[in-house]
Copies of this chain bind each other. A is one copy, B any other.
């Protein structure tokens, strides 16, 4: 890639970004769009424009985001989001410090050397001059680069350590907060052995009463809710349709346009079949379904009890201690873990047994490993195809179009990056599906697992795969002629790939974050839906409901950028400002979105962090090994000095794991020992775990041995 196409790419991206920011300022000030740009505030019952009045500048949102504190973020979007910002600001901090040290020191050292001229290369740009590729082999100038590698590593250790400490405290504070958290009073028990002549309910109650005679409150047996869920969904669907039909009828009467009661056909897709009065039809259906659902609820609670339960305790400390203890001598029976939040329980996974979970987990690991290995092939093909020269060579019929210089420049600038981004967009859903198939009981855990898979996928395939495949393809001929030249070829092409990644990073932050800020797609969808399909309030709300931040897929993307920037930080230090811009803009724009737009759908109190930290260290090790290889290729005598760095990184990772990990996995007793001031309503806590399809209003005392009923029949069902 030459300098002009690089600058074109950069320029275009920047222009697009500025336009998008201006569009945002304009659109977000329109009251009609408030539900798209301020849904989180609206849902929390706040005035969307509350800080708006103070200043009318179109960039007020920037000031707002900058001045928001961590407490604001936690209040508006939870600890997980706050942890995500700690991650962003940690990487940002690393890059800023490294930039301040490396740019003024390394760029002059590289620029004043003249290896590229010596080699007689004639197609190098000013960018190439500024890389380590321009430094002569064995030159003492390499000392500067070697020190830079150390500098980057130690800055990373230091900031990562601070972040770990900080997040550990965040987590503690969150656990100690006076707010009532139902999951702190419960544990999830799985692998309950089946006993003849005893219902699961009796079994669980007697077992836990025996072990915790004083602190056991009651239990809720997990049931097979397939049937009842189906009925519940059907009923909810009819209720919605009834509301909609009534709204249409009322609207027609109000505007006087039509007094006709709405009708529809009962057959396929509402096109075929008998024409019926919608309101009557749905009302009838609902009155048919309600008793059916109630009967099914009773059957489910009584007859469909599965080998898992949620057990409630009267105090947080009893639950925390129970979740950490081995209960049965057979380790594969009565396994306990802390209960997940009610809203994030994956009910269908709870019944999976110990060995089923093990088998599924390793099955999925093997599948993902195979996928990572064999996706290399399409990635390699993409990277080979998407250079214009190759495209012209392989598809000569495109030549006339591609010869036009405008199209050519734009295509050359964007084609490979777009191909890559589109390709990567397909993955996360598949990985989340696979992670759920492992039998993980909570959504946040499944997302963590998927996020990890996604990270290794992107780093291995995109970064390593792309660099190597691109390099190999370009130089396949040279290598065929002289197999020993491969080492030299690699050394000379690593700096060459820097420009590709520079454009990749720039595209991601300018266009990606621009689109994130303006929410063009949700905006358009919302307006279309509101205009043409939404009839009831609930439907309108559904149309603008923003969903959550999806940090599970953001983090691997960010980590990929961090990996790329780290790996090139010393080879081509000009990449550092791009990294700073990516994480800086990301921090700013997502802060805005977290405060105003996204609504967290669960809370795991930062359990993602240890995984992020491990992956940052993995990126660092990759960087250190790359540098070791690159210095070797530069024939620098003192390269062995670098061997110690990956070892330090691994020790650091081990140290962090030993010091912090258990406090993320288990709840420390000293934290939950202080009970909240107000006495918790245990019945309320229990009820919050009942899945909606079982939570009928009429659910009361008359169900004897069912899965919900109390251990002691003396207390009434609140």
A-to-B contact residues, CB < 8 Å: 168, 172, 207, 210-211, 317, 320-322, 324-332, 334, 358, 658-663, 666-671, 673
Contacts and interface: CB of A to CB of B under 8 A. Distances in A.
B317 A211 contact: yes
B358 A327 contact: no
Contact of A324 (B168, B326, B334): B326
A601 B559 CA distance: 55
A325 B662 CA distance: 10
A673 B211 contact: yes
A666 B329 contact: no
Given A325-B666, A667-B326, A331 B660 contact: yes
Given A211-B317, A211-B670, A325 B325 contact: yes
A325 B669 contact: yes
A676 to B, nearest CB: 16
B669 A331 contact: no
B658 A329 contact: no
Given A211-B317, A317-B211, A658-B358, A670 B324 contact: no
A524 to B, nearest CB: 47
A670 B325 contact: no
17 contacts: A168-B329, A207-B670, A210-B670, A211-B670, A321-B322, A321-B325, A324-B324, A324-B326, A325-B325, A325-B666, A326-B663, A326-B666, A326-B669, A327-B669, A328-B670, A331-B662, A331-B663
Given A321-B322, A324-B326, A334-B670, 14 more contacts: A168-B329, A172-B329, A210-B670, A210-B673, A211-B317, A211-B670, A321-B321, A325-B666, A325-B669, A326-B668, A326-B669, A331-B660, A331-B663, A332-B658
B670 A327 contact: yes
Given A358-B658, A658-B358, A671 B320 contact: no
B661 A329 contact: no
Q: Kindly name the residue among A211, A321, A658 whose own CB sees the greatest number of chain B CB atoms within 10 A.
A: A321
Nearest to A175: B329
Given A324-B326, A325-B669, A666-B326, A331 B659 contact: yes
B671 A331 contact: no
Contact of A669 (B211, B317, B670, B671): B211
Contacts of A671: 329
Nearest to A210: B673
Contacts of A669: 211, 325-327
A352 B45 CA distance: 55
A658 B210 CA distance: 26
Given A207-B670, A659-B332, A324 B325 contact: yes
B210 A329 contact: no
A661 B330 CA distance: 10
Given A332-B659, A658-B358, A659-B332, A327 B668 contact: yes
A170 to B, nearest CB: 11
A331 B329 CA distance: 26
A476 B210 CA distance: 70
7 nearest A-B pairs in the assembled complex, by CB-CB distance: A329-B668, A326-B666, A331-B662, A324-B325, A326-B668, A321-B325, A172-B329
A324 B662 CA distance: 12
B673 A326 contact: no
Contacts of A667: 326
A34 to B, nearest CB: 41
A668 B659 CA distance: 26
A658 B321 CA distance: 22
A249 B48 CA distance: 102
Nearest to A336: B669
Contacts of A317: 211
A668 to B, nearest CB: 4
A327 B667 CA distance: 8
A324 B329 CA distance: 14
A606 to B, nearest CB: 13
Contacts of A328: 668, 670
A332 B670 CA distance: 14
A321 B317 CA distance: 12
A5 to B, nearest CB: 51
A675 to B, nearest CB: 11
Contacts of A329: 168, 172, 663, 668, 670-671
A661 B331 contact: yes
Nearest to A176: B329
Contacts of A660: 331
A663 B168 contact: no
A328 B673 CA distance: 11
